[in-house]
Every structure is written in structure tokens, then in C-alpha cells.
């Protein structure tokens, strides 16, 4: 019988939440320890389905202090990356149990930081805690195991950071949280799903990245001195001019209209030019969930292009944010402007 070694890392999130006061359903939900989570899913035990019937060996690790994912920061990303790096050679696949609020940010961060990833890193969680009678946690975790232990189930190995949620398999840096109430919590608006996990599992091989040939490594630093600015009718460009004189600021993500359009007023264009002159990296992404930035289509977008603003194409907000943070921390500034608009991990469609 085929076998696989799988590492499951528990960071916290709704999936492992329990009431602060046991037995009091009116008390707030707080993260519980790994034992709480494991006790609710007997299939993970040594005598459970996956080990007894499929020969899968599980190793469990947990953050010392599990957290709500809204508390996540780059330090937590580094914790995950260190664990993946230390254990990379010993396991066939990895599962990161994570809260949903910032899961797409973490998935994007891991996708850029993991160099030459040749094994599946699967993020999953749930919209309802695992103790809830209608929880989606058990099916999500079961599906994640099928992807992480692909060879056991005669599935192709997916050498990517992915999100496995509500019977969908999504590229991590293409996913965005779309709902806080539906079981279908994530969507991939500009790229097809990598697979579906219904009664039968279908993997869309043509959309999966190739297994790399280079050596695995990590680059785990992230620059946090960036800002996201969302344009709106009446936006005051003086705010941008003030930001240009902030010496700590390294980058600006500009959420523009439609296909990358922005006001063409002299005050706005001057503010953008000042930001560029002060050495700030400016990335243009659309406010539309399904939007592809092409600054050459309309004059209002072309003005930004002439100023030196870089197109973010169809990157999600999460991918664009983390990509900028990662590049600014790991590349020379002159190189960031050359690389940030290009496709590194399948986060951008060729247009």
C-alpha cells in the first residue's frame, strides 16, 4: 500500500475555536489547543481512517500560542517558513491550519518566500468551529489531506501553495476571501480552480505549475513600510504628496478604477510623480475583483504609466500586497520595479 508522511501545522483560527467559558455558549470564541481540535476528528488518530486504511503517517506541530488569523503578521509567516524549511526533506506534503480572515495573505506570502517548492503546501480552515454540529472543518481538513498525500490517492503532486476550501482547490496567490458567512469562503476571480473535490476528485493538471528542478530554499523577509491607497471620487491627492516625504515609506499600492484608471488632474499627477521621484515603488491594481490593469487603454491610465507606475495586471489585493512586501525586503530597489510587474509564481496572467 502506498504511504505518505504528512506534517500538519496548527496556527489557530475558527476551526479550533471554543467558548472562553466551557459550556457557556454566550461567551466569546477563543483559540483552543491542538488537543481540542484533534479530539473532534477521530480520522486523524493512529487507528483512524487515514492511517489505518491508507498508511498515512501524521506529524503534528502547533504554534505555542495559537491565534485568530487577524493577529497574523510577517513574524508568524517566518515561523511557518522556518518549520517548513526544517522539515522539508522529511515529508511528502504539508498542511497549514489557518484562520480564514488572512489565509489568502499567508498563502501568497508562502508562495513567494518558498523557492523551488516541489511539494504541496495546503492551507485550510473553516467557517464554523470543529465542535459545531454543521461544521465545514472536517470535510475541509479531509480534502486537504488528500491533496497533501496525493500519491496515496493516485492524484498528481501539486508543487504549489494552495488553499483547499469548500471542495475547491485554489492557487494560494490567486485566492481572495469572498465571504465571511458562506461555506464557500474563497474565490479565484482571475484564474481557474486547480481542482474540485466532490464525490470524485478532479485535478486540472493544465493549470498547475511544473515541478522545479532547482534546490529548495526560503527567503523569509518582508518589508512592512508600505501602504494601500484606494481611490474614490473626490480623493485628495495632497495625501499622496505627504506620503512622498515619509522617508520610511517604501511602496504604495494604488487601487484604481476599472482597468487601472485614475484622475488626470494636475494635482493628482504631480503627487504621483513626486512619489516616484522620492523612490517609492507604486503598483497599480484594480478595485474590480475581476480586473486586469492595462494603463495603455485609456488616457487616464496612461498618465500613470508615463509617471512610472507599474501595472499589477490581475493580481489580487492579497498577492499584490505581499509580493511588494517580499520584493522590497529581498531585492535591490532598482530591481523591484523590474520584477514586481512580472509573473513569479503564477500570480499574474499573461495578457
Burial (CB < 10 A; 0-12, 13-18, 19+), residue 297, is middle
Active site residue 230: no
| Neighbouring-strand partners of residue 35 | none
The DSSP call for residue 210 is: P
Q: What is the DSSP letter of 143?
A: H
Rounded distance between C-alpha atoms, residue 167 and residue 252, angstroms: 35
**Active site residue: 11, 14, 135, 321, which one?**
14
- The pairing of beta strand 4-12 with beta strand 56-67: parallel
The residues near 131 (Cβ < 8 Å, ≥ 6 apart) are 18, 40
| Cβ partners under 8 Å of residue 134, min gap 6 | 128
Question: In 10 A of CB 98, how many CB atoms?
Answer: 28
Q: How far is CA 345 from the centre of its chain?
A: 12
Residue 10: closest CA among 68, 95, 118, 83:
95
The contacts of residue 328 (CB under 8 Å, 6+ apart) are 223, 225, 226, 250, 251, 281, 336
DSSP state of 173: G
Considering only CA atoms, which of 228, 269, 270 is closest in space to residue 251? 228
Question: Between helices 266-277 and 299-307, what is the axis angle to 10°?
Answer: 30
The SS3 assignment for 157 reads coil
Q: Give the residue numbers annotated as catalytic, written as ranges.
A: 14
Amino acid at each position: 500500500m502506498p504511504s505518505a508522511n504528512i506534517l500538519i501545522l496548527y496556527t489557530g483560527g475558527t476551526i479550533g475555536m471554543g467558548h472562553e467559558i466551557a459550556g457557556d455558549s454566550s461567551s466569546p470564541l477563543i483559540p483552543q489547543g491542538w488537543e481540542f481540535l484533534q479530539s473532534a476528528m477521530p480520522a486523524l488518530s493512529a487507528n483512524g481512517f487515514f492511517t489505518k486504511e491508507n498508511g498515512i503517517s501524521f506529524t503534528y506541530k502547533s504554534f505555542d500560542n495559537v491565534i485568530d488569523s487577524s493577529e497574523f503578521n510577517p513574524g508568524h509567516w517566518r515561523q511557518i517558513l522556518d518549520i517548513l524549511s526544517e522539515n522539508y526533506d522529511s515529508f511528502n506534503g504539508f498542511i497549514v491550519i489557518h484562520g480564514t480572515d488572512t489565509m489568502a495573505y499567508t498563502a501568497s506570502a508562502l508562495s513567494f518566500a518558498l523557492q523551488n517548492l516541489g511539494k504541496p503546501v495546503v492551507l485550510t480552515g473553516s467557517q464554523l468551529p470543529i465542535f459545531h454540529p454543521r461544521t465545514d472543518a472536517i470535510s475541509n481538513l479531509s480534502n486537504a489531506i488528500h491533496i497533501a498525500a496525493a500519491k496515496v490517492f493516485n492524484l498528481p503532486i501539486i508543487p504549489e501553495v494552495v488553499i483547499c476550501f469548500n471542495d475547491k482547490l485554489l492557487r494560494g496567490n490567486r485566492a481572495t476571501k469572498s465571504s465571511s458567512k458562506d461555506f464557500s469562503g474563497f474565490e479565484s476571480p482571475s484564474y481557474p480552480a486547480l481542482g474540485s473535490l466532490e464525490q470524485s476528485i478532479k485535478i486540472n493538471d493544465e493549470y498547475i505549475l511544473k515541478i522545479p528542478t532547482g534546490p529548495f530554499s526560503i527567503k523569509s523577509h518582508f518589508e512592512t513600510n508600505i501602504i494601500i491607497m484606494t481611490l474614490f471620487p473626490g480623493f485628495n491627492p495632497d495625501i499622496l504628496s505627504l506620503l512622498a516625504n515619509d522617508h520610511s515609506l517604501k511602496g504604495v499600492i494604488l487601487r484604481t478604477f476599472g482597468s487601472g484608471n485614475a484622475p488626470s488632474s494636475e494635482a493628482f499627477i504631480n503627487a504621483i510623480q513626486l512619489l516616484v521621484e522620492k523612490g517609492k515603488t507604486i503598483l497599480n491594481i484594480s478595485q474590480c475583483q475581476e480586473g486586469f490593469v492595462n494603463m495603455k487603454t485609456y488616457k487616464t491610465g496612461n498618465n500613470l504609466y508615463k509617471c512610472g507606475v507599474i501595472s499589477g495586471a490581475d493580481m489580487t489585493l492579497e498577492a499584490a500586497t505581499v509580493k511588494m512586501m517580499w520584493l522590497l525586503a529581498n531585492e535591490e530597489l532598482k530591481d523591484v520595479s523590474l520584477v514586481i510587474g512580472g509573473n513569479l509564481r503564477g500570480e499574474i496572467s499573461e495578457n
